[in-house]
């Protein structure tokens, strides 16, 4: 599937955008009510995680639970992931990126993560040897992502079956209880991998036109 170049310069900053510092960070896109974000930040107190959720109701649920648990290394973020990533993240800043059970976009395949021009920009934000974890309960989604990794992005990955007792997200719990096959791709960024956005710095609030919108579940 041919993929056009992402127009990063046309993204304007999210409402109430606040810049972050250029330190190593982990990101979750489509964090939902924050089950994985809270687990991960609790298990990895040495890592900083920003968990992005666009849907206000889910974000508020995550924020409320975070206030109860109080992990200082977790920042819930209410934003659309695309403009936030463009304006906030620096090249090679992200150690780990999580996209867990995203909307499979059955009627709009071009909006699946690895089919989007934006995916190249995401790769540019990933540190050398950093990883992207993409999980889904839909075999065809994983198979298509594998083909894109081989044919378009040329990135190494490991395909894993998710254990039946895993409980990282509310979706994961539901799917595994149904007996569905849940799988994930652990995508790595090798040394000397280049993108067209490797020198692109955050726009820091430039007010121009948003051209795309996307989040996970």
**What's residue 216's pLDDT?**
44
CA distances 25 to 97, 144, 155, 166, 189, Å, are 9, 28, 21, 24, 15
CB contact set of 26 (below 8 Å; sequence gap of 6+): 40, 44, 47, 48, 49, 50, 94, 95, 96, 97, 98
Asked if residue 209 has pLDDT above 50, the reply is no
- Let me know the angle formed at the C-alpha of 59 by 125 and 31, rounded to the nearest 5 degrees: 45
Q: What is the CATH number of the domain that holds 79?
A: 3.40.50.150
Instruction: Please classify residue 37 by burial: count the beta carbons closer than 10 Å to its beta carbon, then call 0-12 exposed, 13-18 middle and 19+ buried.
Output: buried
Within a domain: 207: no
Give the separation between CA 16 and CA 1, rounded to whole angstroms: 36
Lowest mean pLDDT among 68-72, 97-101, 169-173, 210-214: 210-214
Q: Is residue 15 part of a domain?
A: no
Tell me, yes or no, whether 99 lies in a domain.
yes
* Residue 79: exposure state from Cβ atoms within 10 A (0-12, 13-18, ≥19): buried
Asked whether residue 151 is assigned to any structural domain, the reply reads yes
Looking only at the bridges linking them, the beta strands covering 157-161 and 183-188 are: antiparallel
Domain count of the chain? 1
Residue 211 lies in a domain: no
pLDDT digits (tens, 9 = 90+) for 30-48: 999 999 999 999 999 999 9
Query: In terms of residue numbers, what domain contains 43?
Result: 22-188
Position 122 in a domain: yes
Residue 18: per-residue pLDDT: 85
pLDDT for the residue numbered 13? 82
Strands 183-188 and 126-136: antiparallel
> Does the residue 213 lie in any domain?
no
Which helix or strand (DSSP H or E) is residue 68 part of?
helix 56-69
**What pLDDT, on the 0 to 100 scale, is given for residue 168?**
96
Instruction: Tell me the whole-structure pTM to 2 decimals.
Output: 0.90
Give the model's pLDDT for residue 202.
84
The pLDDT assigned to 198 comes to: 96
Dist CA 176 CA 12 (whole Å) = 39
Structural domain includes residue 68 = yes
Unique residue bearing structure tokens 């594998």: 146
Q: What is the pLDDT of residues 131-187, one digit of tens each?
A: 999 999 999 999 999 999 999 999 999 999 999 999 999 999 999 999 999 999 999
Q: What is the mean pLDDT of the chain?
A: 91
User: Mean of the pLDDT values across residues 81-108?
Assistant: 96
Query: What pLDDT sits at residue 2?
Result: 59
Instruction: Work out the percent of the chain whose per-residue pLDDT is above 70.
Output: 92
């Amino acid at each position: 599937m041919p993929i056009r170049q992402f127009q990063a310069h046309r993204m304007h900053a999210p409402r109430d955008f606040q810049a972050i510092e250029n330190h190593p960070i982990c990101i979750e896109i489509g964090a939902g009510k924050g089950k994985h974000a809270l687990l991960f930040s609790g298990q990895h107190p040495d890592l900083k995680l920003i968990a992005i959720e666009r849907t206000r109701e889910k974000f508020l649920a995550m924020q409320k639970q975070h206030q109860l648990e109080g992990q200082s290394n977790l920042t819930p973020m209410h934003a659309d992931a695309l403009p936030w990533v463009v304006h906030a993240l620096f090249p090679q800043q992200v150690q780990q990126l999580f996209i867990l059970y995203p909307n499979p976009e059955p009627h709009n395949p071009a909006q699946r993560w690895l089919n989007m021009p934006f995916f190249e920009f995401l790769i540019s934000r990933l540190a050398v040897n950093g990883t992207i974890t993409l999980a889904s309960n839909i075999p065809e989604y994983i198979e298509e992502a594998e083909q894109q990794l081989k044919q378009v992005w040329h990135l190494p990955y490991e395909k894993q079956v998710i254990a039946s007792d895993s409980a990282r997200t509310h979706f994961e719990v539901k799917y595994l209880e149904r007996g569905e096959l849940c799988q994930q791709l652990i995508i790595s960024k090798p040394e000397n991998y280049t993108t067209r956005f490797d020198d692109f710095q955050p726009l820091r609030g430039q007010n121009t036109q948003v051209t795309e919108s996307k989040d996970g579940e």
